[in-house]
Each structure stands twice: as structure tokens, then as C-alpha cells.
Structure 1
């Protein structure tokens, strides 16, 4: 797999239609991925078939047709809407005299160009090395290209053995790199786990935005940040698949002085490569640890139901289960037949660029995140000023006054804080008797 920067290069996208229900949708998506990679779609080629050709993926006639079309359009690359085996890629390149890229390599290229933090770069690099490992081939080794000799112990046998040894050496080097990068990633994740544990200790509810790439997660997050006066903390927004791979976490304060954490996670795409799903489990830890998920859906896209199914599949693959989910049908302003903002149970219909929609989202989060919070009386000794400061900074304080025995505070507390400050709750009860 070459590691070169692709600029605006004309490309043929090709797919094998085996009567999959989502074939047309995935071909459209492939074109968008090609654009996201900085290339342009020159034309689209499809073939209907009952099975995959083991040698060339497509039938021989279709391969020759693609080669002729590419020459006529002066196209150097064919991108296939599926994973190819190493031998299929080599055979297609040999027959067509073109570069051939499968869906996984295309997505890996996009992720490589988008990674900004050390964490994201490591995750992408691990996925790329794992993708490359089975594609290391003896023909790439000079030792395997030497001419043969004569005799039972001649050069042919010896050189073949040398080539095989070099192949194993190459694979061993890749495996060592993967191990080294995984260990470095574990160190980064340990530091992140420490920060996450600290946030949990502070009893801050956490909300994670999840969903298809380019559905409007970052726009939704920025709408919330603007609504609550944090315009300087906004995240990057770009009308592009996988505009960012980094998870952004922001602390928001609702008007009633309640705080929560909002995280914007990497977007999903159909048939996301297994290597990437495994590598990005670390990035998506914010979703696994969230108290509430917000699935942002591009309601204006005709394939939004397929996108929702992809989101569910990916969340299951990374182990995100049994977490309440609020479904937000975004971009309702692009559907003239739709009333918004509107709420029905755990479903919102809105536009992330509409202030009224963002207000409704904030009200909904306030209700869902704090349904287990109750107004609680506490009596805090004067020597525990840090507890009073914590209550002022992190909870909704209804009243506060001094008594002979300490500071009497009435605050709205969640289950964690009620347990943490149980002795002061009991002291308030005893003082009231």
C-alpha cells in the first residue's frame, strides 16, 4: 500500500452488484469517500453477478472493459466498493496496468490525512499496518527476484528460501511496530482514563454525540456551546466526510447551574473497516462511558435509515450497549414538509443551526440527565469549606445560611453526590429534629 498524498485525480469507482439491498447506497457513498480523499469520480462501473471471481473479483470481460474505459478517460486509479484480497489487487493491477484501491484502503487514506492528535495518528497507523500485514509479498523483496542456479543445492532453491525468510522478517518488523504503537496508545489511554475517572468523581453527567459522518454532530455541539456562552470553545465544522477524527469534550452549564460534559465523537460510515473499528475503540471510550447518547441523524438524506442502522451496528461492535439514547433528526430545515423543533418521547426533530431547536435540545437534556436529582438539605461543618465550594460550583444551590453548627445548604443533588455527602445529609436531618 503506497503512502502518497492523493490530490485531485480522476477515478473510476467500481462495484459488484450481487443484489445487496444497499448496493446503490454504498456506491453513492463510495463516490463521496473518493471526493473526501481529494479525488474526483470520472465514471462509475458496475457488474451484476452471483459470485465474486476469486482471481480478479470482477469477471474477465468487465476487467478488460474497465481498463479500456480508464485509458479512454486517462484515469490512473480504480476504486472498488469492497475489500479485495491481496492477490485480487495484484491481478487487477497487472491486467489493467492501473492502480487499484479497495474500500478499506480508501478509508484508511482519508483517516491518515485527517488525524491530528497523537492518539488519532497512532490508531490510524495501527489500522494501516494491520491492513498491510497480509499484503506483504515476496515479489517486493530483492532476494526473491534473483535468478536460479543449478543442482539440488543450487541458487533457485536457496534463493526461494531466502525470499521466504525475508518475507517473514518483513512481517515480523510490522508486528513489532504494531506492538510498539499499541503500547504507546495504552499509555495515552491510561492518562485519558485518569481524567475520565476524575470527571466521574465530580459527578458530572456525560453526553456523547454519535452518528453517521457528516450528520451534523459538530454543528449540534457548536449550537449548544453558543447557546450557553462558550463560543470560544467551538469545534471545527466542515461539510465533508470524516472532517475530524478527534473526540472533543466540553463542559457546559445549564441556566439552573447544572453542569454536564458533552463529547463529539468520530463519525461512522457503512462497512467501516474492521481494523479501524478495533483501533478506534479507544477514541469512542467517551461513548461507552456516557450517561446518555445523542444519535444525530441527517434527516434530509434519503438514506438516513441505512445510516441509523450503520450507527447501531458500529456501536454494538465497539461494545456500547444499554445506554439511553436520544435520537435527533437533524437538518429538518432542508425538509419543507417537516415541522420543527418538535419532540416526541426520546426523539427530537430539529435543525442544529436554529436557536429554538438548540433550546429544545437543552431543555430535553436537562430533563433526562437530572431526572434522578432531588432537592436535598445538608449541614456542612465550618471546617469543610471545600464541600460548600463544591456545592456552589457544581450543583444548583437553592439556599444557603449559617447556623451554630455549620453551613446549612439546600441543593439539588444526584445519586453520586447524595452518597458522597451522606454524613452532611444525615447531620441536617438530625438538626431538624
Structure 2
């Protein structure tokens, strides 16, 4: 494959931008109001005010949307029909009418029945947290894979929203109704149409994933380790990625600025400060608390880049008031993805430039006392050299000599050893090969996984 800096896999049409913005942002802005329900009985590691701030940021990530107001709504208990109590529904109805709101964003789950009833009471369109995130993803997806994954997630979500809200949902007649019994309901017809479309999309996505797997297989043949950047959305992964690789990936102070995986080659410094080993860096979609289950499933192929990684950089926005809570969310998602706990992981405490005074001094002292923690500013470049040096050192692994016996049917394993360049001596015997290899623990693990 050659040098990773040649970016030969960047020519893959699966990684190409769709071109112009997917959505036309011309015309008057949609006037929105954000609500964050705070249920007393619900346990959360987050303060409701911070949850509301994140919801407002999510709304700000949509183009042509103007947030007119936002508030935390305290809920003693959930009302099955309208989510909020009748008094609060009336109070909000008056406020929304006064502000001439077009769209209400509820930062939490809203059932189809609750959505229908609230839209009727308030005379506005309503989106819950899942619907909002799907809208953002639909606006941002650029690659073929990203578009398919968003469509698949949206259909899964839409299927759950089929409720008896319109007159056309009355039972349809099958033929004249004389033969074959009654026909199917409109809901059943809609659900069947969605299921058919889901099957079609999954087939297309399978082809895309297979193509990506071919690219992964090609990269495995090149002895360049993969370093994956993960972290909470808006933690600064893309800015760090650009700083490390010299790439020009979209990096904005905005939630979900990056949706599609991006990979670039990086030449790490050696012990003397000169050019050293080469690695492949992978920028990934940002994580978020309460990520819709539809998106976790639909974006698994994208997040599999993390499963392929030889080292993970967990990028944290250390200036955020809930950085620790965000880190806990990221850890939960990595666990759900079944990321191998043996894969080394460094914490990169980003946005150090936004921390001042005694707080900055305390963070630097805390990082110094913890192994594998690197305070940096991806924006200014402060601390980046330390991260790169640590990554380089992590791959300067101790090698061991092993003697292997491979049967003639194990040609794939033998080809792997040749591709990795770890064979010291090889001899053909009666039932296969006797091979001496000099390899790292990482290479041995990959060999055992074949």
C-alpha cells in the first residue's frame, strides 16, 4: 500500500464528501423553544441546567434554526398522555403562542401519543431528543455510508412513531371485502413499507461495510498501527486530528461537527526528535449521553474503526464543567462496543487554553500524578509533542522470539507473518512449515485472532 501519508484510502468513494450542503438553508429561520424535563425520580449524573445547555447546543447545530428560549421543566411524575401536567401544558401554550414558536425541542424521550397530543395542544411541531439528533445527523452525513446509516436510523425511529393520528388509518378493504377477509390497516401498510425499505438499506449498507472491510484488510497488510481518537462530541477531536496530521477536517465549536470517519497518516517523532515510525490516525463521530439506540446500531460500522485501533486517544474537553460526567458516558459507550480493554488508552485533556489561574495549575498537577494523561491545547499546539512522543513510545514494544508450526492449510496465517515482516527463519517440513518469528505482543494478538 505504501506510505500512509499518500492517503491512498482517502480516494475511496465511501469516504468522499457529497459536495454542497445536503439541506437548503435559505428562507426564514425556524423559531424554536427548548425544554429539558427534570424528573425527580430519575437518576442522572448531570445537573439539569447543564443538560439544558447541551440541548440548546444541539439545537444550535441545526442550520437555519433560531432558539427563542429554553427552560428546565421540573416533573414530579410523567403524565402518560401529555408528558407534562395540564397546568404546565397550558402555561407553555401561552408562552409559545406569544413567542410565535414553530418548533418545540424536548430534551428527552417523548412517546408518539405524547407528541401527537402536545402538538395538538400547542399548535407547533415537536421533536424529542432522538428526533433532534437524527435531524443533525441527516444534515451532516457526507459519505455514502453515513447517509445510509442515517436513513436506516431514521426509519427505525419513524416505525415507532406510527400512531392512529389520521382518518386514513381506518381499516382498508381487501378487494371488495367479499373474498379473503378484511384488508390491512394503514398502520400495518406503513409499517410493512418501512420494513421493506429497511431491508433494502441494510443490503446497501452491507455492501458498503464489505468494501470498508476490504480497505481495512489492505491496511492490515501494512505494518502501520491505527490510533483512534474518541471522545464526547465537541471535545476537540477534529482540531487535535488536524494538528496531528496536517489535515483539514471540519473543526467547529459545534456538536457533531464530524460524523464520518476520516483517516490520515502521521509520522511520529523518534527519541531524537527526528521522523520516526508511521501510524494511521482515525477521527470518529463524537459520543453523547443518551445516544439514541437506533443510532448506536446504525453507526456501529463507523464506530468499528475504534475496534480496529491499536491505541485509543480519549479526548476530553477539560474546560467543560461536566468533563468527568462526559468521560463516564464515553467509557460506557466503549464498553457497549466491546472495545478490547487490553488496547492501551491515553487521556488527552484538551482545551487547556480555556482554563486559567489556579484551576489550570491544579489540572496540570493532577495530570502529572496520573500515568497516560496529557493536558493539551489542540488549538494552540501546547502539549501536542508530548502526546505524539507517548504514542510513539507505546509502539516501541518489546519483541519476543517464538517458534511456530503451521500446517499447509494455514496459508492465511503464514501470509500474515510475511506481510508483517516478522519471520526470522522458515523451513518447510513434511506436514507444513516450521517458522521462527520475532514479534510484538500486538502482532501476536492479531495473529491469534486470525
TM range (shorter): 0.7 to 0.9
Specify the alignment match of 1:265 in structure 2: 284
After TM superposition, the structure 1 = structure 2 runs for residues 9-408 of structure 1, keeping only pairs within 5 Å, are 9-19=30-40, 20-21=43-44, 22=46, 23-38=48-63, 39-140=65-166, 142=168, 144=170, 162=183, 164-225=184-245, 231=246, 233-256=247-270, 257-322=276-341, 323-337=343-357, 338-339=360-361, 344-372=370-398
What 5-or-longer segments of structure 1 have no aligned partner? Answer: 147-154, 226-230, 376-392, 396-411, 421-433
| Offset at residue 307 of structure 1 (A) | 1.0
Q: Based on CA coordinates, which of the two structures has the bigger radius of gyration?
A: 1
Cα contact 2:36–2:55 (8 A) shared by 1 = no
Give the root-mean-square deviation of aligned CA atoms: 3.1
Tell me the SS of whatever aligns to 1:284: helix
- Which stretches of structure 1, 4 residues or more, deviate above 6 A after TM superposition? 3-7, 416-420
| Offset at residue 145 of structure 1 (A) | 9.1
| Offset at residue 112 of structure 1 (A) | 0.2
Q: 1:204–1:374: structure 2 CA closer, same or farther, 3 Å change rule?
A: farther
Which structure exhibits the higher relative contact order, with contacts defined as CA atoms closer than 8 Å and separated by 6 or more residues?
Answer: 2
The TM-score normalised by the length of structure 2 is 0.75
Task: Write out per-residue CA displacement over residues 348-382 of structure 1, whole angstroms, 9 at most, x where no aligned residue.
Answer: 1111133451111110101112223589xxxxxxx
| Offset at residue 394 of structure 1 (A) | 9.6
Count of aligned pairs between the two proteins: 369
| Offset at residue 181 of structure 1 (A) | 0.7
| Offset at residue 415 of structure 1 (A) | 5.4
Cα distance in 2 for residues equivalent to 1:374 and 1:216: 38
Q: 1:245–1:4: structure 2 CA closer, same or farther, 3 Å change rule?
A: closer
Task: Write out per-residue CA displacement over residues 45-102 of structure 1, whole angstroms, 9 at most, x where no aligned residue.
Answer: 3332232100000111111111100111111211111111110100111111111111
| Offset at residue 345 of structure 1 (A) | 1.3
Task: Write out per-residue CA displacement over residues 373-403 of structure 1, whole angstroms, 9 at most, x where no aligned residue.
Answer: 589xxxxxxxxxxxxxxxxx999xxxxxxxx
The TM-score normalised by the length of structure 1 is 0.78
Cα distance in 2 for residues equivalent to 1:315 and 1:201: 26
Cα distance in 2 for residues equivalent to 1:137 and 1:416: 52
With 7-16 and 178-187 compared, the bigger mean Cα shift is at 7-16
| Offset at residue 268 of structure 1 (A) | 1.1
Cα contact 1:207–1:263 (8 A) shared by 2 = yes
With 193-202 and 365-374 compared, the bigger mean Cα shift is at 365-374
Cα distance in 1 for residues equivalent to 2:278 and 2:324: 33
Cα contact 1:213–1:267 (8 A) shared by 2 = yes
Specify the alignment match of 1:400 in structure 2: none
Cα distance in 1 for residues equivalent to 2:312 and 2:186: 49
Task: Write out per-residue CA displacement over residues 2-23 of structure 1, whole angstroms, 9 at most, x where no aligned residue.
Answer: x997763221111222234422
Tell me the SS of whatever aligns to 1:242: coil
What 5-or-longer segments of structure 2 have no aligned partner? Answer: 1-21, 271-275, 402-418, 422-437
Cα distance in 1 for residues equivalent to 2:39 and 2:372: 37
Tell me the SS of whatever aligns to 2:300: coil
Cα distance in 1 for residues equivalent to 2:165 and 2:442: 61
| Offset at residue 41 of structure 1 (A) | 2.2
Q: 1:170–1:262: structure 2 CA closer, same or farther, 3 Å change rule?
A: same
Cα distance in 1 for residues equivalent to 2:266 and 2:251: 19
| Offset at residue 136 of structure 1 (A) | 2.1
Task: Write out per-residue CA displacement over residues 323-355 of structure 1, whole angstroms, 9 at most, x where no aligned residue.
Answer: 321001001111113256965411111111334
Tell me the SS of whatever aligns to 1:83: coil
